[in-house]
Every structure is written in C-alpha cells, then in structure tokens.
Amino acid sequence: MVDVPLGPAGAVPPADVEDMSLYHPHSWVTKYVFSQDAKVIAVQYSITALSVGLIALVLSWLMRLQLGFPGVFSFIDANAYYQFITMHGMMMVVYVLTALFLGGFGNYLIPLMIGARDMVFPYANMLSFWFYLLAVLVLVASFFAPGGPTGAGWTLYPPQAITSGTPGGQDWGIILMLVSLMIFIIGFTMGGLNYVVTVLQARTRGMTLMRMPLTVWGIFTASFMALLAFPALFVGCVMMLFDRTLGTSFFVPAIVEMGQPLERSGGSPLLFQHLFWFFGHPEVYIVALPAFGIVSDIISTHARRNIFGYRMMVWALLAIGALSFVVWAHHMYVSGMNPYFGFFFATTTLIIAIPTAIKVYNWILTLWRGNIHLTVPMLFALAFIVTFVNGGLTGLFLGNVVVDVPLSDTMFVVAHFHMVMGVAPILVIFGAIYHWYPKVTGRMLNDALGKLHFWVTFLGAYLIFFPMHYLGLMGMPRRYYDSSDIAFVPSSAHTLNAFITIVALTVGAVQLVFVFNLLWSLRHGRKADGNPWRATTLEWQTPETPPPHGNWGKEQPVVYRWAYDYSVPGAARDFIPQNEPPVARPSLETVS
C-alpha cells in the first residue's frame, strides 16, 4: 500500500511519493505473473476476458447454427443447445463485459488518468485478478464435468436450474456455475474496493472530482454499483448452492418431478428472481456507465471539441447509477406480481430514460460543428451512440407492462438486450482498445484491418438483430431449441433465421481479424509517440510510452485544468493537456 503522508496543508498529497513506498517487482514472475502493477493486472484481465469472449463467441455460432438450420447438425441436441445459450449469456455479461470494463479498463485507466502511481491496495488488486482467473477456470471446467455445464438459462431460475430435467441440474454443471460466480464476486470486491478508494484517495494535486475525465467517473460509479449489486447475486448463489447440495428449500417449492413429488417444499422461486434481478438490472448499467464515460472521451478527443455539458454528464451518471437500483422488477412483469408494483417499476424504468437521453443529446451536441476525425475509435464511438439509441428505444417498449407482456420471452427481448447491452458496450470496448492500444503497447493498430473490422461488425450487428425484432413481433419464442414445428411461424421466418445465422458467422469471423490485428501490431504496428491522438488527459502525458512501473518517473503530474480543453480559442495547439500550466493568453478580442 502506498501511504500518502499528509502535510500540514491537510488533504493535498505531496508532489512526489517516495519511491521506497512503491511496491517494486524483483523478478520476472513478480513483474509479469504475480504482478501488483495495475497496468500489468489490466492486461492480464483483458487477455483473460477476451479469451472468454472468444469461447462465448463460438458458443453463439453453435446456437445460431441450430436456430438457422434446425436438425442439420446432429451434435447439437436440445441439452447442448441450452448449455450453449446459458454459458454464452453468463460468460458475456459477467466474465467478459464486467471484467473488461472494470478489471481491464478500470485498472489501466484509473491510476493513469487521475495521476496516481498505482492503485491504493496493489496486493488486493493482484488477488482480484487471480480470483477472477480461478472463477473462469471453474466455469470452463464445467464443460468437462460429468453432465456438462448447466443449461438453466443465464438467469439460472430455480427450481428448474437444480432439478433433473435441466442439463447440469443434478450433475456438476450448476454447482460449478454457482461456485464460479461466488469466486468472481469475491475477487471483484477486492478489485472494486481498489477502483473506488483509488479515485477517492489517490488523485494527484489539482485533480478535483470535477476535473476527472468522464471515463473515470463512469468506471467509478459503476464500481460502486457493482460493489452493492453483486452481493445480491452472491446471496442468491449461496442459497441455491445450499438448496442443491444440502437439501434446504430456499427456492424449491413443493413440486412433482417425473410424476414423483420431491421431498422439498416451502421454497419461493420468486425470491430468487428478486435477488437475481436486484443484481441483474444494475448490472446493465455497470456495463453501460464505463461505456458512457469512455465514449464521451473518445468523441471529445476525435471531434477536437470539449464535451458538451460536462456537469450534466456527471450528474446523469450518478442519477442513472442511483435509479438503476429501483427498477429491477421490470424483468418480472409476467411473474404474477401485484399490478401496482408493475406500475411503480414501469414508472421508474421510464424515468431512467431522462438522464440517459441527456447523455445522448450531449454526445450529439459535442459532435455538432466539431472537427470530426473518422478514425477507427471514433467510428466505434459513433456506432455506439446509434446502437444505444436503438436498443434504448425498444427498452421503452419493454418497460411498459402492457407492451411487455405479449413480447415477453420472444425474440424481441433477445434483440433488445443484445442491441443495448451486447452490441453497444462491445462496440465501445473495441473503440477503446483501438484508442488506448498505442499507450499500452507503444504501437498503433492497423488502420485498414480496423476499418474492415468496424464495418463488418457494425453492419453485421444490425443485419443480425434488426430482423430479430420482427421475429419477436411475429411471436417467435426465445429459448426454443427447435421452432420449425410451430404452426404460427411462417416459413419466411425460417429463411430469416438462416440469414441471421450466416451473418452471425461472418461477423464472428471478422473478430478473428481483430485478434490477428492485436497480435500482429504488437510487433509490426506503426510506432506510436506518447500522444498519437493529441489528447488532453493525463494518461497521454506520461514521460515514457508504454508507461513504466510507477507511471510518472520522478514527479507526479500537477493538474491545472479540466480534461476537455480542445480547440481553445487563442491557444497555440488545438488541445491543452491537463498538466499544462496556464499562461497569460491574449484575450478573445485581441485575437479576432
């Protein structure tokens, strides 16, 4: 832990943290494997999460193959199909998106952007990654366990998740899933404490809260939310694990299984739904808020324009964070709840649209009359805005009880949440990787490959998910292994499904181009200088690129301004770094 001694002036940390108080690696193992340096941990998190993402991508191919060409692939039976959708969902939501945004970008960007040398609890930070890796290994191990992974659906609703009809329900699948989630949550808590306390305690001199880049605000708010929301999933997991292994009946009511009444009785399946969605809904914003922050910074940098309405952006982040805890039951409209509850939750759900819309307007106003550079990160950021608006609009449909009830459990829901929390955040992740790769590696990613990756991914995502809305409106159910026998589904729907599958395979394939680009550019990419995008934030002002251990060399930077001084009238360059001292500039009148 870096102890920042406090001077007589009170809360202002000194300019230079003595090198003795920084943790120093002494061998290759402590430098690259069991490292306590947030930057190394960030790369470890990112590589692990991207690998899990590739596994989840392959799972989505397999399930699309079944949906597009039912009966053609004999190795995909109903059980395998349910296992694919379950693992795809859980991996993408928790082990990819959450881990990448908070563990990956959080670790890399928080210390650099606030001018700190490292996280405040480096040891806990290291443990956080190893817990995460263990959670991933336990999860992946369930593919090789007897009975295979769980096929309960990513929501793991009991009692079906732990009964014998569901794949993995009476085998190892569900146990490994629950244990893995619990390990993940414990690991995340250690990381999350770091992200929050580092932002609170380790900001460099002059970095007031309102001078922080929106990326840090987004990750900070999301970390807080995750710290408070993940316990709900933890509680649900512990109780279900007890139900599965110790014979308790928290969630198992009196049911008849295969004609035989189970020994259990008295459990409440609804209780699990409440716990799950009390985590599950904030989770949407845990993923979205870092994306919001990162997009704000990318747009501002690549449009050479200060972010419009910075204060409002910060307040909107906080408001979304708070509101997201009181909307969970909109995932449960069809659970037979009291209609007044439905009304309440529909209202809070629609209220969230207000701060969200403020953010969208502010992004657009930032672009207005900006000097837009259509670089690859910018393309991804712009695509995010469009996609998020699209997915958000269908959210307004589903947030209303009367519209949600007929659409519930159809492909419309699948299309909605993939647009808003699948495609949209992933676009930001790609954009952010193209944006910060030069800082992490010292080399640029290949531009042509990047543009190919962008266009195929962006257009492909729309070709996949737009038709899915129509399938949903038609009544095509989700979670069905084979819908070719359903009378009301016309044959055109099957053609559409085959089309979606082909596009999905194409979009999947182009991700391999991205992976190739990541690896190839490591050696052969164009060399990047310290600040290739001419950005203002501190991470671009490090004395060396990639930043060495301790980030700042001898002295920590001192911050004199906010993070968005782009195209300031009268300034020599079109950007002024945060650590550039103010100079007496000619006033506007004398310039004109």
Smallest gap from residue 304 Cβ to another protein (A):
15
Nearer of residues 198 and 457 to another protein, judged by Cβ:
198
- Applying CB under 8 A, among 227, 288, 419, 518 the residue interacting with another protein is 227
Nearer of residues 325 and 481 to another protein, judged by Cβ:
325
- Applying CB under 8 A, among 231, 269, 477, 546 the residue interacting with another protein is 231
- Applying CB under 8 A, among 232, 288, 421, 440 the residue interacting with another protein is 232
- Applying CB under 8 A, among 165, 261, 266, 543 the residue interacting with another protein is 266
Distance between CA atoms of 392 and 228, rounded to whole angstroms?
24
Question: What long-range pairs does 401-405 form, CB within 8 A, spacing at least 24?
Answer: 401/333, 401/339, 401/342, 401/343, 401/346, 404/330, 404/333, 404/334, 405/333, 405/334
Nearer of residues 330 and 439 to another protein, judged by Cβ:
330
Smallest gap from residue 145 Cβ to another protein (A):
24
Site pattern 130..169 for another protein (x: CB under 8 A) = ----------------------------------------
Distance between CA atoms of 486 and 503, rounded to whole angstroms?
24
- Interacting positions 282-311 with another protein (CB under 8 A): 306, 310-311
Q: What is the three-state SS of 445-514?
A: CCHHHHHHHHHHHHHHHHHHHHHHHHHHHCCCECCCCCCCCCCCCCHHHHHHHHHHHHHHHHHHHHHHHH
The candidate with the shortest Cα–Cα distance to 151, out of 216, 85, 96, is 85
- Applying CB under 8 A, among 274, 451, 534, 549 the residue interacting with another protein is 274
The size of the interface with another protein (CB under 8 A), counted in residues, is 68
The candidate with the shortest Cα–Cα distance to 219, out of 301, 321, 130, is 321
- Applying CB under 8 A, among 82, 84, 121, 276 the residue interacting with another protein is 121
Smallest gap from residue 348 Cβ to another protein (A):
12
Q: What is the three-state SS of 366-412?
A: HHCCCCCCCCHHHHHHHHHHHHHHHHHHHHHHHHCHHHHHHHCCEHH
Distance between CA atoms of 57 and 252, rounded to whole angstroms?
33
The candidate with the shortest Cα–Cα distance to 353, out of 382, 327, 386, is 327
CA dihedral 131, 136, 141, 147 (to 10 degrees): 120
Task: Tell me if 325 contacts another protein by CB under 8 A.
Answer: yes
CA dihedral 205, 206, 210, 216 (to 10 degrees): -40
Q: Is the Cα dihedral 406, 411, 331, 150 positive or negative?
A: positive
Total length of the chain: 592
Nearer of residues 54 and 228 to another protein, judged by Cβ:
228
- Interacting positions 192-211 with another protein (CB under 8 A): 193, 196-197, 200-211
Site pattern 337..376 for another protein (x: CB under 8 A) = -x--------------------------------------
Nearer of residues 248 and 484 to another protein, judged by Cβ:
248
- Interacting positions 11-70 with another protein (CB under 8 A): 11-13
- Interacting positions 87-116 with another protein (CB under 8 A): none
- Interacting positions 236-255 with another protein (CB under 8 A): 238-239, 242, 246-250
Nearer of residues 201 and 400 to another protein, judged by Cβ:
201
What is the secondary structure of 556-576 as a DSSP string? -----S-S--BS-TT-SSSB-
Distance between CA atoms of 414 and 469, rounded to whole angstroms?
8
Smallest gap from residue 271 Cβ to another protein (A):
6
Smallest gap from residue 7 Cβ to another protein (A):
10
Smallest gap from residue 544 Cβ to another protein (A):
23
- Applying CB under 8 A, among 275, 378, 398, 421 the residue interacting with another protein is 275
Q: Supply 151's token pair.
A: 């096929």
Nearer of residues 271 and 515 to another protein, judged by Cβ:
271
Nearer of residues 383 and 563 to another protein, judged by Cβ:
563
Smallest gap from residue 360 Cβ to another protein (A):
21
Smallest gap from residue 234 Cβ to another protein (A):
7
**Angle CA(580)–CA(584)–CA(586) in degrees, nearest 5?**
120
Distance between CA atoms of 221 and 286, rounded to whole angstroms?
8
Nearer of residues 59 and 576 to another protein, judged by Cβ:
576
Nearer of residues 242 and 397 to another protein, judged by Cβ:
242
Nearer of residues 167 and 283 to another protein, judged by Cβ:
283
DSSP letter assigned to residue 149: B
Q: In whole angstroms, how large is the CA radius of gyration of the chain?
A: 25
Smallest gap from residue 184 Cβ to another protein (A):
14
Distance between CA atoms of 136 and 486, rounded to whole angstroms?
38
Q: Supply 256's token pair.
A: 């008849």
Specify whether the CB–CB gap between 171 and 148 falls below 8 A.
Answer: yes
* φ/ψ (deg, to 5) at 581: -65, 150
Site pattern 410..429 for another protein (x: CB under 8 A) = --------------------
Site pattern 543..582 for another protein (x: CB under 8 A) = ---------------xxxxx-xx---------------xx
Smallest gap from residue 42 Cβ to another protein (A):
20
Residue type, 378: M
Residue type, 528: A
Q: By CB under 8 A, name the binding residues for another protein.
A: 1-4, 6, 9-13, 120-121, 189, 193, 196-197, 200-211, 227-228, 231-232, 234-235, 238-239, 242, 246-250, 266-268, 271, 274-275, 278, 306, 310-311, 314-315, 318, 322, 325-326, 338, 558-562, 564-565, 581-582
